[in-house]
Amino acid sequence: FPKTGKHAFHVILPKGWNTKVDTRGGLLLVPPYQHAMIYLGIVVDDKLRNQPDRAVADEVAKTVGIGHIDYGGRARVTGSNGAAIYRGTAFSGIMPAEHGFARKAKIMIFRLEPNTWAQVWTVTQPGMNAVESDSLDQVLNDITLTSEE
């Protein structure tokens, strides 16, 4: 995902997971339980050209109502060949409550070009159990990223 363009995520989903493309062109990965999701997207924005990962994270966080994000450390995603590793930055924030539940968001930003970034989000809410957490981690660990030269 996406099917066209020079950058793409590759994902293998366990049985029961669903996908949905959102209005911004990102891909939601939704597990069979409703306590979490993963979001994948490619951001191309010339007004953010050469800006730090923090500026990109601030912009994408605003789209879901997150007003403040915290630095969360380093992030990485493996290339589809298993050798390449894309390094980026992780951030965290709280999404506004919906249906009475505030959700935690972890946003990972990976610079691909001066005006292009990959974003990987995990969004969780209270009530996740160990099985759900393990399933989420399995999918996250299996996500890879490719870039054409």
Could you tell me whether strands 144-147 and 69-79 are parallel, antiparallel, or unpaired per DSSP bridges?
parallel
Give this prediction's pTM. Answer: 0.89
Residue showing tokens 């597990």: 31
pLDDT at 51 over 90: yes
Contact present, 51 and 60 (Cβ < 8 Å)? no
Contact present, 29 and 37 (Cβ < 8 Å)? yes
For 115-145, write each residue's pLDDT tens digit.
999 999 998 887 788 888 888 888 888 888 9
